[in-house]
Structure 1
Amino acid sequence: MRDTSTRSARKFWVPALLWFGLLSLIAVAIGAAFGAIVGLLFYSLSLASLLFLQMRSLYQIEQWLDAPVGRPRPKTWGMWAHAFAALDDIRHEDERSRAEMAEWLARFRQAMSLLPDGVVIVDGVMHLEWCNPAAQTHLGLDLKRDEGRLLTNLIRSPDFVDYMLSGRFEQPLPFMHHDRKILVQLISFESRRQILVTHDVTQNEKMDTMRRDFIANASHELRTPLTVINGFLEHALSSDMSEETRLRQLHLMAEQGQRMQRLVADMLTLTRLESLLQPPSGDTVRIKPLLTRIVEEARALSGGKHFITLREVQDVDLKGNRDELESAFVNLLSNAVRYTPDGGRIDVSWAMENDGATLTVIDDGIGIAAEHLSRLTERFYRVDKTRSRATQGTGLGLAIVKHVLLRHRGRLEISSEYGNGSRFKVIFQRAQLALRQD
């Protein structure tokens, strides 16, 4: 470092001393030849010329530095040429650094924009500087509109404001914002900047609620038949009873046992469907004979109390898992039988449509009110709990249908009006059809 400074000083002082020495010698020679006044005048004019040249070079530096990078540097001489060359190198190096910084910042923002969690950068007094799209969605922010505004003025939740003003950010804060449950935590990363990280836990909360409801509902559904069975067993052990009473109670216990068996089987089926990660096998499932057999089973379940008709069955097959599709179709028809009064009509059809193939089950049963339609595929959701238990339903049938269709790229459309029957329509995409070469 000292050697560099010494060399720079030599580059400046040696030429300067040479110029001053040369001018002094010339001035002395002129003074000796033409008089001291002429020599002094020459020396003064020479110094003024040198000063003008230096000022001109300073002006060129100022103009050149204000010009865009890449403009050729002025042609100068002596020490100024070295100075312009050094400044030119510094400008190019600075430009490269700026370009690298801009590229790094662009990559950083692009990476932050792809994160599922929100990232908000604020200054030391909580003014918004930047946020990614996830944070805009979570907190309802708009970067173009809200940049520079106070974050606690943009998000008026009392819990959020108290958290931001508390100065204690060791634990994240959960709070409700626009029907979302958001988890936020403030992290300091610079003396004058902080990062607010947001995470949307709304779906997790829903899943936890569904899990708790499932356990509670499953426990309740199993408790009821167990209570009946245990009550009859205690009564049988503690007292004498006639043969007729004993047979009636055994029959009721058998019914409750079968109900528990169906419930456990449906729970196991639903759990298996949810745990399967791989797509269903691509085997060809012959729909026409499958529906023919399922309709016969539905007639047996009805016991002749309903008019069940297989109206239209086009010879179109599906790719998928036969057992899963059979389970879904059986649940749709058994639901129609259970919720259609005696003497009612149930029509089943399987046909090609523009967007694929559809299975339609139409009944003229009791119908479903509009407020229940969106929740029918939830586990254990019942429109009429008393009627559901009387018809021996487990409350999991449509949930099984939904998961089977998800695995087979299908969807379920339900239309109904209370008192005017229901229409269940299963739609499979064209890509799910098994084409046959005749």
Structure 2
Amino acid sequence: MSWFLPRVLAYVVMMLGGGLLGRIAGTPFHMSTSGMVVGAGMGVALAVLFDGLRGRRLLVWLRGSLQGPAPRDTGFWGELGYRVERAVRSREMVAVQEKARLAQFLSGIEASPNGVMLLNANDQIDWCNHLAAEHFGLDPVRDRSQHLTNLVRAPSFVAYLRARQFEQPVVFPSPGGRGTLSVLIRGYGDGLKLVLSQDITERERAETMRRDFVANVSHEMRTPLTVLSGFIETLVNLPLTEVERKRVLSLMGQQTARMQTLVSDLLTLAQLEGSPRPPSDRWVDVDKLMQHAEGDARTLSRERHQLVFESLAPAQLAGAEGELLSALTNLVTNAIRYTPDGGRVEVRWQPRADGSAEFIVKDSGIGIEKEHLPRLTERFYRVDGSRSRETGGTGLGLSIVKHVIQRHGGELDVQSEPGKGSEFRLIFPSLRVRVGQAAPVPVPQAVGAR
């Protein structure tokens, strides 16, 4: 209240001063008393006018943007302006801090691995992060305040939102059919909703592959086991001639070998998936890989095919010897198995212009329909299941090849046409190729070559 007494004193001084001047001015006219009253009133009026002008200056500032300083007056209006300005600046500072906290909070939500969307009580979009916008096919700015079901019309999601039963998430195809979404809604506040979305496409694909893998392994194991069980029962219960007994034992041996091959390939895949990436400083001689693959090929072909092995330049590959040999022999074995007698199989190693290099395995066999090519490296996928079993394949060879080449940083390229044969290319990056040198280290036996 430091302004109160000076303010009262100023009014008193103005009133007394005005009264004194009025008395002096009215004395010559014998109106000293009236002049004193009029002078006192005028003094008070001047004080009020001056006070009003200062108050108006403060009011103009309050009606403006409040960006500049308040009028720097003394007394009541000065203190009032100062306190109002301090309160405004304090509120602005709090608003800036809250805005910074909100921006930090929203940036944290932006970094969330899940899509996050906020809905008001009318199911209109208040805000969403970019991942949620991507999941639902929205524009995070343009689509604000839009009703969500006008933009996302998947029947299961619309029914889920309207039912208000949010105990379990709902799963449905994402807009545009790009994958599968799992969406969970939680209520908060006064009818507000938090929408959490997650892209589970890869999880669903992995789960489907796991189920298919278990089903395929069970099927592949069941067939030879059923055959063995039947033959064992035959040997136990029926009197067989020596010729019949030898034939049954031979067939049992074939089925046993088939199961051993399958188990070996499964172990190879498990080893490839669970082991570290191959070293980049251990070099394998390409010529020795070719020699070993050629020996296996001629043993399998038994001179029924025309085999051509060619290395265009001595070179080394950085990586795991057994894995590289397995990939190459798997491709060569498949080429021989699916090429009719009298056909031609070519295996070539050649550097490429960009410093990379490739193994090319080309055959004149039956070829593959175009629609099957993207799925060739899936486990147990067969273009012709009956023919694959006749040739002794497990359906895992190309899966092993794919894992090996990916672990070595390369890629598998497949070109094929029915009736015109197939061409498989194992392309290795330049970092794993060293041309013009040969390593004296012998190549180990292949792992899982089928």
* 1:13 matches 2:4: yes
Deviation (angstroms), 1:423: 0.9
- Where 2:308 maps in the other structure, the secondary structure is strand
> What per-residue deviation string (whole Å, max 9, x for no partner) do you get for residues 295-335 of structure 1?
21112112221112112342222221111212211211111
Residue from 85, 104, 126 that aligns with 1:107: 104
Equivalent residue number for residue 311 of structure 1: 310
Question: In 1, distance between residues paired with 2:398 and 2:46?
Answer: 99
Question: In 2, distance between residues paired with 1:269 and 1:63?
Answer: 84
Question: In 2, distance between residues paired with 1:50 and 1:367?
Answer: 108
Question: In 1, distance between residues paired with 2:230 and 2:325?
Answer: 37
Distance 1:347-1:51 versus aligned 2 partners, 3 A rule = farther
Contact 1:120 1:135 in 2 (8 A): yes
TM-score by length of 2: 0.89
Equivalent residue number for residue 271 of structure 1: 270
Equivalent residue number for residue 403 of structure 2: 403
Deviation (angstroms), 1:220: 0.6
Equivalent residue number for residue 367 of structure 1: 367
Deviation (angstroms), 1:242: 1.1
Equivalent residue number for residue 261 of structure 1: 260
Distance 1:59-1:26 versus aligned 2 partners, 3 A rule = closer
Deviation (angstroms), 1:107: 2.6
Deviation (angstroms), 1:435: 6.9
Contact 2:19 2:38 in 1 (8 A): no
Distance 1:36-1:435 versus aligned 2 partners, 3 A rule = farther
Distance 1:279-1:94 versus aligned 2 partners, 3 A rule = farther
Amino acid at match of 2:386: T
Question: In 2, distance between residues paired with 1:159 and 1:339?
Answer: 47
Contact 1:288 1:314 in 2 (8 A): no
- Where 1:144 maps in the other structure, the secondary structure is coil
Q: Tell me which moved more, 96-105 or 409-418.
A: 96-105
Q: Tell me which moved more, 379-388 or 99-108.
A: 99-108
> What per-residue deviation string (whole Å, max 9, x for no partner) do you get for residues 64-110 of structure 1?
34656653443322222222322333333333333333333333333
Equivalent residue number for residue 61 of structure 2: 64
Contact 2:315 2:434 in 1 (8 A): yes
Distance 1:52-1:233 versus aligned 2 partners, 3 A rule = same
Contact 1:288 1:313 in 2 (8 A): no
Equivalent residue number for residue 186 of structure 1: 185
Question: In 2, distance between residues paired with 1:236 and 1:125?
Answer: 76
Equivalent residue number for residue 157 of structure 2: 160
Equivalent residue number for residue 247 of structure 1: 246
* RMSD, aligned α-carbons: 2.2
Deviation (angstroms), 1:31: 5.2
- Where 2:142 maps in the other structure, the secondary structure is helix
Question: In 2, distance between residues paired with 1:230 and 1:84?
Answer: 101
* 1:23 matches 2:14: yes
Question: In 2, distance between residues paired with 1:254 and 1:162?
Answer: 59
Percent identity of paired positions between Structure 1 and Structure 2: 38
- Where 1:146 maps in the other structure, the secondary structure is coil
Question: In 1, distance between residues paired with 2:291 and 2:51?
Answer: 104
Q: Tell me which moved more, 37-46 or 136-145.
A: 37-46
Question: In 2, distance between residues paired with 1:144 and 1:239?
Answer: 81
Contact 1:69 1:92 in 2 (8 A): no
Distance 1:220-1:57 versus aligned 2 partners, 3 A rule = same
Equivalent residue number for residue 217 of structure 1: 216
Higher relative contact order (CA 8 A, sep 6+): 2
Equivalent residue number for residue 279 of structure 2: 281
Amino acid at match of 1:154: L
Distance 1:437-1:50 versus aligned 2 partners, 3 A rule = farther
Equivalent residue number for residue 422 of structure 2: 422
- Where 1:143 maps in the other structure, the secondary structure is coil
Question: In 2, distance between residues paired with 1:66 and 1:329?
Answer: 84
Q: Tell me which moved more, 36-45 or 253-262.
A: 36-45
* 1:97 matches 2:94: yes
Distance 1:51-1:433 versus aligned 2 partners, 3 A rule = farther
Runs (5+) with no aligned partner, structure 2: 27-31, 439-450
Q: Tell me which moved more, 372-381 or 44-53.
A: 44-53
Contact 2:312 2:351 in 1 (8 A): no
Q: Tell me which moved more, 307-316 or 393-402.
A: 307-316
Residue from 147, 150, 154 that aligns with 1:150: 147
Q: Tell me which moved more, 95-104 or 258-267.
A: 95-104
Distance 1:78-1:159 versus aligned 2 partners, 3 A rule = same
Equivalent residue number for residue 5 of structure 1: none
Question: In 2, distance between residues paired with 1:261 and 1:154?
Answer: 55
Deviation (angstroms), 1:437: 8.2
Distance 1:395-1:98 versus aligned 2 partners, 3 A rule = same
> What per-residue deviation string (whole Å, max 9, x for no partner) do you get for residues 139-162 of structure 1?
111123311100111111222112
Equivalent residue number for residue 319 of structure 2: 320
Number of residue equivalences: 428
Question: In 2, distance between residues paired with 1:437 and 1:39?
Answer: 123
Question: In 2, distance between residues paired with 1:387 and 1:118?
Answer: 47
Distance 1:436-1:105 versus aligned 2 partners, 3 A rule = farther
Residue from 111, 115, 118 that aligns with 1:118: 115
Question: In 2, distance between residues paired with 1:244 and 1:66?
Answer: 113
Runs (5+) with no aligned partner, structure 1: 1-9
Distance 1:31-1:351 versus aligned 2 partners, 3 A rule = same
Amino acid at match of 1:238: N
Distance 1:46-1:305 versus aligned 2 partners, 3 A rule = farther
Deviation (angstroms), 1:281: 2.1
Question: In 1, distance between residues paired with 2:437 and 2:9?
Answer: 101
> What per-residue deviation string (whole Å, max 9, x for no partner) do you get for residues 204-262 of structure 1?
11111110110111011111111111111110110111111111111111111111001
